[in-house]
């Protein structure tokens, strides 16, 4: 049964008469769902959705829209057991609460979602709703928008990322304290690592309490990467943890044992600097595959910063009772090494070791 | 037309092409066999004209082109890619040591394809419909052959290169336990960073497994090193000392000595002896002592 | 005392044999240093072997601590030898730019004890009469 059976069956599109759609929706659903009670529920659900969308639907397009919606409602029933999985990419669970006690929570949740939706642009919101709620696929959305399915999908991902951020801001009832907050949260929410580097998300999370508090649920979705490790640094024991984590992750690339120890030693040196001079920070270990296999270590802190980086990189510089080999020593162990330090804001050391083909 | 499914109506008979599909290829093959000598020579001339395979002598060229030609026709006949792969591997194994490059192999196979195609064109040019069918049968098979040969060649070439590198690596940094507690490392050839890294791993783990107290590194056979490698060498010597082994360097050329000085190595702190013989005598002397101290070795 | 699992310090006649059993962080390293130096003084030890074979890394702090121990031991009349530095750890140390101080190193415990002037098998306590 195709949608074309019904197109043009009605000639009066100006006043959407949803009731007139009922027989057709019943037929569509009845052909797919045997149990009459379930079928009737789905008919009602379909009509509600059509009714909500009616003002935005092009004149004359209500029937096809209803058919597509009816089919999607049936499909989503079939996928009921997969619902959790389907909802995973949403920050909000849109399914109704199980227990009456949850009603209020659910209502607050819905209000937060509504408020978050209101912060999107019209176009963002319409596309998202058409896709997420009405189940319209990216190809037909692309046709409507005069775009490509790939572009629509990318746009949808960005919109979802924004929705998650706005939802969190509404729910926590906070305004981002700086103008860097939103870009950082968006980059985290989208899971786009290049963008995260561009906005220096790691550093911002160290500096901004609000974003640090908001970010965990955003990161959980992307934290599943297994080629990246993030180790918070505060005490002596973290130095050992960081260098062992770096060694373990890097060992996946086929580094020789000696090189793994060079990496671990370099991590030890730069991490100790965090504990000594800054008190707190983090070490991020990432495996790289571009331009070739390698491991990148980023050690950042929110300490006082290094007044003279050039001097700190020269041999013999030391402000604690050590050998002063920290930064210059670590630099000798790695292939690439960069220090960025700002007085009063902290220091970021980025160092890379490439894994030569072997 | 017996093989065609019933639903397909038989095509109208071609007036001057009485040959059916099954007979096309055998006919083609026997044509190529019949004119083997002429076609092969034409092909060889084209190869020379294109400046390919110049690393080979005329005799080798004649032998290889003949055998490639026969194999080529046989694959056309049987359609068996396995035989071709086997042949291409053998061929690659023979010609890779002669310095034949991938583009040459691909080039000669494509030349053969075109020489044969032209010959087919001449033979069938008066029957255009038949010519089309012949070329339809010939071209996919010919392209498959070219593809298979190229892939086999590249695979084989990579395998040979890997093998050579491995064996060079093993040969180039042997750690020889000459007697109890004494290792000799005779190094020959150009020392790049990869080899320097290998040397470090082998020497340092060698010290541990052989419980070496003295190591003689003979670099008579190393013409020169760049600063990175020199640095690596010095680190390896220092690391050996941290493991309690004394290092004697023999055969240090003026060039390398100069490089070491350039990167700031204090040569007076390195135990350098002119030749290997002298180095071994010094090693014996050191092994006579029960401790490794006094001369700056074995301390941190 | 850092606890028996991280390090052990055994007394053998005039000598102390200190073994580090696992990677130590800086605080643990300092506790080890204090503990060892205290025992050297208490036992009037003449020689100390520190076995670092279990260390995954000897960075600037670790190496510097070992050197401090040797210096404090020397002031108390004891000689120190470091043994068991792993090949990769040794290479990383020199790459880091550790300047070679004057603390002797040896391959392993056996060599370290031999260095201090007594064969491993010897059980007798008493004075150190073999030539150093
Ligand atoms: Zn923020």
- Return the pLDDT at A335: 93
B205: nearest CA partner in chain A: A258
Q: How far is the CA of A202 from the centre of ligand 1 (A)?
A: 11
pLDDT in tens, A30-65: 777 777 777 888 888 888 777 777 777 766 677 777
Between residues A149 and C21, which one has the greater pLDDT? C21
Tell me how many domains chain B contains. Answer: 2
Residue C23 in domain: yes
Instruction: Tell me whether residues A258 and C88 touch, CB distance under 8 A.
Output: yes
Res. B171 pLDDT band, cuts 50 70 90: low
Q: In what order do the strands lie in the sheet with A346-354?
A: A228-233, A281-288, A294-301, A346-354, A336-342
Q: Enumerate the residues of chain B whose CB falls inside 8 A of the CB of residue A356.
A: 194
B149 and B42 assigned to the same domain: yes
Has residue A258 got a pLDDT over 80? yes
Q: Report pTM.
A: 0.60
Q: What b/e readout covers B213-233, taking b as 16+ CB neighbours within 10 angstroms?
A: bbbbbbbeebeebeeebbbbb
Between residues A323 and B71, which one has the greater pLDDT? B71
B26 and B155 assigned to the same domain: yes
Q: How far is the CA of A213 from the centre of ligand 1 (A)?
A: 9
Residue B11 in domain: no
Residue B120 in domain: yes
Peptide bond just before A291 cis, omega within 30 deg:
yes
State whether ipTM is beyond 0.95.
no
Mean residue pLDDT across chain B: 80
B90 and B117 assigned to the same domain: yes
Has residue A9 got a pLDDT over 50? no
Which domain, by its residues, includes B244?
176-291
Place of tokens 């419909």: B129
Instruction: Tell me whether residues C107 and B201 touch, CB distance under 8 A.
Output: no
Has residue A3 got a pLDDT over 70? no
CA distances, B43 to each of A183, B109, B118 (Å): 66, 10, 11
Q: How does strand A228-233 pair with strand B271-273?
A: unpaired
Residue C40 in domain: yes
Query: Would you give the distance in Å from CA B217 to the centre of its chain?
Result: 30
B159 and B43 assigned to the same domain: yes
10 Å CB burial of residue A37 (0-12, 13-18, 19+) is exposed
Residue B66 in domain: yes
Q: Enumerate the residues of chain A whose CB falls inside 8 A of the CB of residue B204.
A: 258
Which domain, by its residues, includes C15?
7-118
B202 and B275 assigned to the same domain: yes
Has residue B44 got a pLDDT over 50? yes
The CATH number linked to C36 is: 3.30.750.24
Best to test chain A binding among C27, C28, C59 (most A CBs inside 10 Å): C59
- Return the pLDDT at C81: 95
B139 and B182 assigned to the same domain: no
Lowest mean pLDDT among A73-87, A338-352, B44-58, C105-119: A73-87
Residue C18 in domain: yes
- Closest approach of chain A CAs to the CA of C50, in angstroms? 20
Mean pLDDT over A184-199 rounds to: 87
Has residue A96 got a pLDDT over 80? no
Q: Enumerate the residues of chain C whose CB falls inside 8 A of the CB of residue B298.
A: 104-106
Of the three residues B142, B166, B190, the one that is the final residue of a domain is B166
Residue C131 in domain: no
B144 and B229 assigned to the same domain: no
Between residues A159 and B7, which one has the greater pLDDT? A159
Residue B298 in domain: no
- In this structure, what token pair is assigned to residue B11? 């095509």
Res. C57 pLDDT band, cuts 50 70 90: very high
Tell me how many domains chain C contains. Answer: 1
- Closest approach of chain A CAs to the CA of C121, in angstroms? 34
Of the three residues B166, B184, B207, the one that is the final residue of a domain is B166
- In this structure, what token pair is assigned to residue B201? 């791993």
Residue B300 in domain: no
- Return the pLDDT at C42: 94
Residue C70 in domain: yes
Residue C130 in domain: no
Between residues A316 and C21, which one has the greater pLDDT? C21
Chain C residues 67-86 within an 8 A CB cutoff of chain A: 86
Has residue C127 got a pLDDT over 80? no
Has residue B238 got a pLDDT over 80? yes
Between residues C118 and A246, which one has the greater pLDDT? A246
- Return the pLDDT at A221: 59
Mean pLDDT over A105-123 rounds to: 79
Residue B113 in domain: yes
Res. B173 pLDDT band, cuts 50 70 90: low
B115 and B205 assigned to the same domain: no
Where is mean pLDDT largest: A55-59, A310-314, A344-348, B75-79?
A344-348
CA distances, B6 to each of B2, B3, B12 (Å): 9, 9, 15
The CATH number linked to B181 is: 3.30.750.24
Has residue C91 got a pLDDT over 90? yes
B160 and B216 assigned to the same domain: no
All structural domains of chain A = 3-92+100-222 (no CATH), 228-354 (3.30.565.10)
- Return the pLDDT at C123: 36
B113 and B70 assigned to the same domain: yes
Has residue B107 got a pLDDT over 90? no
- Return the pLDDT at B224: 79
CA distances, B112 to each of A125, B64, B116, B143, B152 (Å): 63, 13, 6, 11, 17
Residue C21 in domain: yes
Report the distance separating Cα C99 and Cα B242, nearest Å: 11
Mean pLDDT over A258-263 rounds to: 95
pLDDT in tens, A279-293: 889 999 999 987 889
């Amino acid at each position: 049964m195709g949608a074309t059976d019904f197109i043009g069956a009605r000639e009066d599109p100006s006043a959407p008469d949803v009731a007139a759609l009922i027989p057709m929706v019943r037929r569509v659903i009845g052909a797919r769902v045997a149990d009459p009670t379930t079928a009737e529920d789905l008919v009602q659900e379909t009509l509600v959705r059509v009714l909500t969308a009616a003002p935005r639907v092009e004149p004359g397009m209500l029937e096809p829209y209803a058919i597509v919606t009816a089919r999607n409602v049936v499909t989503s029933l079939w996928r009921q057991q997969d619902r959790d999985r389907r909802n995973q990419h949403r920050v909000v669970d849109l399914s109704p609460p199980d227990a009456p006690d949850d009603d209020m929570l659910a209502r607050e949740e819905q209000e937060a979602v509504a408020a978050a939706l209101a912060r999107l642009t019209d176009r963002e919101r319409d596309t998202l709703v058409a896709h997420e709620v009405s189940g319209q696929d990216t190809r037909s959305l692309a046709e409507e928008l005069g775009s490509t399915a790939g572009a629509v999908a990318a746009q949808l991902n960005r919109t979802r990322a924004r929705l998650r951020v706005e939802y969190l801001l509404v729910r926590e009832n906070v305004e981002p304290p700086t103008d860097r907050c939103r870009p950082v949260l968006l980059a985290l929410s989208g899971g786009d690592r290049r963008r995260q580097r561009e906005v220096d998300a790691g550093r911002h999370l160290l500096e901004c309490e609000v974003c640090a508090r908001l970010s965990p649920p955003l990161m959980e979705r992307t934290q599943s990467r297994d080629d990246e490790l993030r180790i918070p640094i505060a005490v002596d024991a973290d130095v050992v943890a960081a260098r062992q984590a770096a060694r373990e992750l890097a060992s996946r690339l086929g580094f020789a044992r000696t090189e793994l120890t060079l990496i671990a030693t370099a991590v030890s040196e730069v991490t100790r600097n965090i504990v000594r001079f800054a008190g707190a920070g983090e070490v991020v270990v990432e495996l790289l595959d571009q331009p070739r296999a390698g491991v990148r270590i980023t050690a950042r802190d929110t300490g006082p910063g290094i007044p003279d980086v050039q001097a700190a990189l020269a041999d013999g510089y030391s402000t604690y009772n050590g050998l002063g080999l920290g930064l210059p020593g670590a630099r000798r162990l790695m292939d690439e090494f960069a220090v960025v330090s700002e007085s009063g804001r902290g220091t970021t050391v980025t160092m890379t070791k490439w894994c030569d083909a072997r | 037309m017996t093989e065609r499914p019933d639903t397909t109506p038989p095509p109208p008979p071609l007036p001057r092409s009485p040959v059916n599909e099954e007979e096309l290829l055998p006919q083609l093959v026997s044509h190529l066999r019949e004119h083997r000598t002429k076609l092969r020579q034409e092909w060889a001339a084209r190869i020379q004209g294109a400046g390919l395979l110049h690393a080979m002598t005329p005799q080798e060229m004649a032998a290889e082109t003949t055998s490639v030609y026969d194999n080529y026709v046989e694959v056309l006949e049987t359609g068996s890619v396995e035989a071709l792969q086997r042949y291409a591997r053998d061929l690659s194994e023979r010609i890779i040591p002669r310095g034949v490059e991938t583009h040459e192999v691909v080039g000669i196979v494509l030349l053969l394809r075109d020489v044969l195609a032209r010959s087919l064109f001449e033979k069938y040019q008066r029957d255009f419909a038949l010519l089309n069918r012949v070329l339809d049968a010939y071209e996919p098979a010919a392209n498959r052959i070219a593809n298979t040969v190229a892939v086999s060649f590249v695979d084989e070439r990579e395998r040979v290169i890997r093998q050579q590198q491995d064996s060079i690596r093993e040969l180039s940094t042997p750690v020889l336990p000459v007697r109890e507690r004494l290792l000799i490392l005779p190094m020959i050839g150009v020392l790049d960073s990869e080899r320097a890294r290998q040397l470090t791993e082998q020497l340092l783990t060698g010290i541990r497994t052989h419980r070496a107290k003295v190591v003689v590194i003979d670099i008579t056979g190393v013409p020169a090193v760049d600063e990175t490698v020199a640095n690596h060498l010095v680190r390896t010597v220092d690391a050996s000392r941290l493991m309690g082994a004394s290092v004697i360097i023999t055969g240090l050329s003026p060039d390398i000595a100069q490089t070491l000085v350039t990167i700031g190595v204090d040569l007076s702190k390195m135990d350098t002896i002119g030749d290997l013989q002298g180095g071994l005598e010094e090693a014996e002397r050191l092994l006579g002592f029960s401790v490794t101290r006094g001369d700056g070795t074995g301390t941190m | 005392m850092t606890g028996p699992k991280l390090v052990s310090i055994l007394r053998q006649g005039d000598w102390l044999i200190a073994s580090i059993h696992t990677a130590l962080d800086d605080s643990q390293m300092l506790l080890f240093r204090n503990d060892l130096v205290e025992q050297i003084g208490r036992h009037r030890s003449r020689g100390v072997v520190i076995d670092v074979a279990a260390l995954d890394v000897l960075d600037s702090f670790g190496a510097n601590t070992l050197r401090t121990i040797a210096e404090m031991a020397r002031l108390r009349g004891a000689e120190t030898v470091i043994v068991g530095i792993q090949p990769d750890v040794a290479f990383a140390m020199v790459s880091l730019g550790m300047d070679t101080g004057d603390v002797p190193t040896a391959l392993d415990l056996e060599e370290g004890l031999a260095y201090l002037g007594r064969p491993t098998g010897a059980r007798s306590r008493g004075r150190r009469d073999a030539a150093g």
